[in-house]
Every structure is written in structure tokens, then in C-alpha cells.
Structure 1
Amino acid sequence: MNGWERVAEAVGAGDASRTADEVLRLDAAERREVAHRLPHHIGPAREAAHARFDNLRAEKERARERFVAAEVAGGLSMEEAVHRWWTTEVHHSQVGWRMRDNWIAPLRVAGAGALGGAAAAAAWIFRRDFSGRGEDLPLEPLLRVIAARPAEWQADLAVRVAGRLRGTRRQLEDGTVALALELLRRTGAPPPDHEPLVVAWASTEPDLQVDPLAEHLIPRLFEAEGVGRVLRDERDDEGRGRRSWLRALRDLADAGRIEREALVDGCVRRFLRGGSATDLRFFVRLHDRLWVLK
């Protein structure tokens, strides 16, 4: 098989990791062919996945009918036979609705690894055909194929993906936030001036001592709309099972990694801008903790 055929077969198997392996094996000419063919393969890939799902579901239904018929022939009532079916391994085999969309993740990976420009790759990853179907981004395979691209290309992609953040819970859950933040961290690209990026960053558990984004984004915590609402329920860490932003920022100041006065001034600036009690609650708590230890 040639490069395109190998990639298409991996897509057909619904395997994003295998698709990444095949993309990384492509030479320059094969990569161009894959990039050219991918847009035309969306429809066939979707139809093939739906057909596989329909066939598997029909096969499972036939298995159920055979099982129930055999149990009834053996003396069980229909109700007893159906109840026994629910306990079989065949019944518990997964034929879930999400199988209908298992073509999306490998296609995303193929495009990220083969399309020529960073703008085209970003548009492909978030293509409308792939959105709204409940499919999470295949983070590890995407990062593998992106890491094989030139450094400047990766940095361009990182900024473009970050610019697509909207500060929504869905993006936090589907891997969009994780992809954007990880690309910025890996490439060292300056984070764009984009408020939803700051909100997304504030929605993750902080590790400010080692996070390369901290020096860029901490000052923006006091400026970006939505940060206060995201962090409104933050407390110190005791009994929470996770590190809080209050403790992380205070520890950073204690370690001399950031001036305590800069954080206090940030809180004051945020107060002067006004806002609801909900939006300001986190900054009030942070201000109080910084002053207590000053």
C-alpha cells in the first residue's frame, strides 16, 4: 500500500494513534497527496463508520434473537430468556452510538500532520464537520504529529489554537484547552492577547512554579473578564484534594518568584474596575491572604 492507502485504512479502523504512526511514516510527496485527498474523504469516512455501526448493531440483534430462541427451546419462558440475555458477554459488548463518529479523531490527526500551513491545520482540527458530535480531541496523537513539524510552524499553530478558545466548559472537557495550553508551553510562543485563553488557563489546576505560561498570564488574571467567576469558589487547599489558585499565587510570592505588591496592586486594580460580588470574590480572598502574610 502507498502512504495514502495506509492512512485511509487507519482512519477506517477508527484508530487515531495508528493514524499518527502512518502520518509520521509519510515522505514529502505522500504527505502532499494525503493533504490533497483528506477533504474529499470526509463523506466516505463518515458513511463507512455509520455502515460499520449499523452492521454491528444488526449483528448483535441477530445474536440476541438466536440466544432467546435457543433458551426458549430449552424450556425457559420468553421473559426468562430475555432476562438471561442481559447477563451475557455478547450483550455487554460495546456497540455504542459514539462508534458512529470514530472517523473524526483519526481524520483530525491526519490533517494536523499532513496539511501544509498552520492556518490550514488549525481550521482542519476545528472543522465544522467534526464539531458538535461529542468527540474529544485525540490529544496524544495530535501532539505527536504536530511535534514532527518545523518549530516555527508549531508556534504559529499554538497561537492559532489559543485564539480559538472561547472560555467554555465544553472546550475544557473536550481537550481544546489542554491542546492550546500544551502547544504554548512546548513551543514557547508568546500567548496571544486573548481573554478566553486566560479564563481557560485559570480553569485548570495551577502548577505555577514550573508553568512557563505563568509569567505571561498571571498579570492578565486581573484584567480578563470571566476569571473571577471561574475562581469564585477557590479556597485554600486543605481537604480539597487539589491545589488552589489562592495557595499557588501566595506560594509564588513567598518564594520570591513574583512580587507580593504586584499581586496586591492587581487585586486593587480589579476592585477599581468594579463588578459583581461573585466576580470579585476571588480577588478579595487573594488580597486578604496576601496582606495577612505581608
Structure 2
Amino acid sequence: MSGWEHVAQAIAAGDASRTADEVLRLDTAGCHETARRLPRHIGPARQATQEHFDRLRAQITTENEHHRKTFIDAEVARGLSEDEAFHRWWSTGSYRAHHHDVDWTMRDDWIAPMLVAGAGTLGGAAAVATWIFRRDFAGRNGDLHLEPLLRVIAARPPEWQADLAVRVAGRLRGTSRQRADGTVALALELLRRTGAPLPDHEPLVAAWASTPPDLDDDPLAEHLIPRLFEAERVGRLLRDDRGAEGQDGRRSWLHALRDLAAAGRIEREALVDGCVRRFLRGGSTTDLRFFVRLHDLLEPRPRRQARTCRAHPARPGRPCGRR
């Protein structure tokens, strides 16, 4: 079989890891053939996965019906009416014990390997960024499989990877869909791995703020913390942050920023001044709630006028208002 046929088989199996293995084995000719065939393979790959899903759903439905009928027939044989047997089927836990549901997200199993194949074979970083955000893939219900995707990207030249990181970050829109489908995680991880210059793109800041903070080890923190006070939607995004620890044990953004200042990794006054600048810009209560809580948590010293002057300096030749 040709290299493309091996890739197509991996896509048909819905196996992103196997697809990455096959892509990394391709020679130059195989990469070109795969890149040429991929766009036309979207329809067949989607259709094949849907047909597999439909067959599995029909099989599971038949099995569930068989278990239900067997149970009810046995209860009727013991003297119960069909209505009583059916009630027992539901009420005794027999339904839960014998009923199986099909995983509806498997209808998207073709998407992850298609993304991997495109990221590993399409020529330019611009083409790969367009491929990742292609509308055909936008409705997926599961996360991106980052490991195989990052593996094929890592095989590209460093300059190419940095270019892709900036392009993917620039396509973030701060939507809940992108947070849910793994696009945000991909953009942030590419920026961390490549060390590419961060684009001046406000949705990137909001996307970063939408993830659990790990500020001690995150190379993006130094660059993005100051932008938290400038980017729109950050305050609204963090409006419900009250400093409670998350279910995964990670700190809240409030405590993460406070602890960073307490450890001396960022000046407390810089965070306080950031809050003051945000207050001076104005906004709704919802937008400012997080910054008010952060300001209070930092317990600023009584140097209010000095901070206000730095945040909103007077015009040359005029006093700043300090007495």
C-alpha cells in the first residue's frame, strides 16, 4: 500500500496516534500526495464514521431490546402482568444493569486524525492554521487530541512552528466553543513550546484567563499578566472567581496572582496599579467585580493618590494633584 493508503486507514480507524505514526513515516512524495488528497477525503471520512455509528447504534438498540424482552418474559412466567413486569424492569435497576448507550461523540472520531494528517503534510503554516480552523471540523464535540497533533507539528522546522503558533493564536475568538474543543489549549501550548512572540490579540488574553492558572511554571505568565488589566472580557470571564479552590485542586486566579506577588515574582504594587487602571477605564459592575476582589485581596497600602497619579498622569506643566 502507498503511504496515503496507510494514512487513510488510520483515519478510518479514528486513531489520531496511529495517524501521526503513519504521517511521520511518509517521504516527500507521500506527504505531497496526502496533502493533495485530504480535502477531498473529508466527505468520505465523515460518511464512513456516520455509517459505523449507525451500525453500532442499531446493534446496541437490538441488544437492549433483547435484554428487556427476556426480563419481562421471565417475570410474566412468574405470574406478573406485562405492566407489572415492565415497572419492575425500570424500578429494580435491571434497566440500568442491562441497558447500554452508544457514545454520540464517536461520530466525530474522523476529525482528530484528519487534523493530524493535515498538520503533518500541508506545506505552509498558514495552510495548516486554516485547516485546523476549517468549518468542517468546527462542530466537533470532543477535545483535540493534542499529543499526536503536537508530535507531527514538532517534526517541522522551528521557524515554521513559531509561525503556526502565532497564526493559531491570532484565530482565537474567545468563544466557549473554542475553549471546549481544545483550540485554546492547542494555541497556548504552541506558544509555550515555540517561544514565539505573543500577538497583540485580546482574545488570546481572555483565552489564557479561561484556563486554570499555573503561574509558577507558565512561560506565558510574564507577558500576559499585565494584559489581564487591559483586555476586554477578562473581568466578565472571571466574575465568579471568589478565591475558592477548584475541583481539580488548582488555585483560583485571585489566589494565584496574590501568591505570585507574595513570592516576589511580581510586584504587588504592579497588580494594585493594574486594578486601579482598570477602575479608571470604567465599566459595568460585572466587568469590574474580579478586579475589586483582587484589589481587596492584595491589601494595598494607603498610597491611593500616588497610584492614581501613575495610572492617570497629569499633562505636562500641570500638577498631578498630590499635596
Relative to the length of structure 1, the TM-score reads: 0.88
Looking at structure 1, the residues matched to 45 and 38 of structure 2 have their Cα atoms a distance apart, in angstroms, of 10
Q: Does 1:259 align with 2:267?
A: yes
Cα distance change on mapping 1:112 and 1:69 into 2, 3 Å: same
Q: Unaligned stretches of 5+ in structure 1? A: none
Correspondence for 2:151 among 140, 144, 154: 144
- 1:285 corresponds to which residue? 293
TM (norm. structure 2) is 0.81
**C-alpha displacement at 1:58, in angstroms?**
3.1
Q: Distance in 2 between matches of 1:220 and 1:123?
A: 27
Asked whether the equivalents of residues 119 and 153 of structure 2 are also in contact (C-alpha less than 8 Å), the reply is: yes
Secondary structure of the structure 1 residue equivalent to 2:206: helix
Cα distance change, pair 59–277 in 1 and its aligned pair in 2 (3 A):
closer
Larger Rg: 2
Q: Kindly indicate whether the alpha-carbon contact (under 8 Å) linking 2:68 and 2:95 is maintained by their aligned counterparts in 1.
A: no
Matched-pair contact (CA < 8 Å) for 2:68–2:89:
no
Please, which moves more after superposition, 73-82 or 45-54?
73-82
> Is the CA contact (8 Å cut-off) linking 1:184 and 1:191 kept in structure 2?
yes
Distance 1:62 1:279, change over 3 A: closer
Look up the SS of the partner of 2:298 in the other structure: helix
Q: For residue 62 of structure 1, report the CA deviation from its aligned partner.
A: 4.7
How big is each residue's C-alpha offset from its partner over 1:76-112, in whole Å with a ceiling of 9 and x where there is no partner? 58775994994676x52x5333332221111111111
Distance in 2 (alpha carbons) for counterparts of 1:128 and 1:55: 26
Structure 1 residue 271: deviation in Å? 0.9
C-alpha contact (below 8 Å) 1:105/1:135 kept by paired residues: no
Measure, in 2, the Cα distance between the counterparts of 1:232 and 1:88. Answer: 42
- CA shift, 1:73, in A, is 8.1
Q: Could you tell me whether the CA contact under 8 Å between 1:219 and 1:266 is conserved in 2?
A: yes
> Quick one: which amino acid aligns to residue 36 of structure 1?
R
Q: Kindly state the Cα deviation for residue 56 of structure 1 after the two structures are TM-superposed.
A: 2.4
For 1:64 and 1:274, the matched residues in 2 are separated by: 59
Q: Does 1:36 align with 2:44?
A: no
CA 71–289 in structure 1, closer or farther in 2 if over 3 Å, else same: closer
Deviation at 1:147, TM superposition (A): 1.4
> What is the rounded CA distance, in whole Å, between the counterparts of 2:95 and 2:66 in structure 1?
14
Segments of 5+ residues of structure 2 without an aligned counterpart are 303-323
User: Aligned in 2, Cα 1:59/1:208: closer, same or farther, shift over 3 Å?
Assistant: closer
Return the match for 2:243 from 236, 239, 254. 236
Q: Compute the displacement of 1:54 (Å).
A: 2.2
Query: Is the 2:89–2:95 contact (alpha carbons within 8 Å) kept by the matching residues of 1?
Result: yes
Contact between 1:68 and 1:78, CA under 8 Å: does it hold in 2?
A: no
Over residues 193-249 of structure 1, what are the superposed CA-to-partner deviations in whole Å (9 max), with x where a residue is unaligned? Answer: 111111111111212122110111111111001111112222335687431222222
Shift in CA distance, 16/258, structure 1 to aligned 2, threshold 3 Å? same
Cα distance in 2 for partners of 1:71, 1:281 equals 57
1:95/1:233 Cα in 2 relative to 1: closer, same or farther (>3 Å)? closer
Quote the sequence identity (%).
Answer: 72
d(CA) in 2 for partners of 1:256, 1:96: 48
Question: Contact 2:258 / 2:297 at 8 angstroms: preserved in 1?
Answer: yes
Partner of 2:201: 194
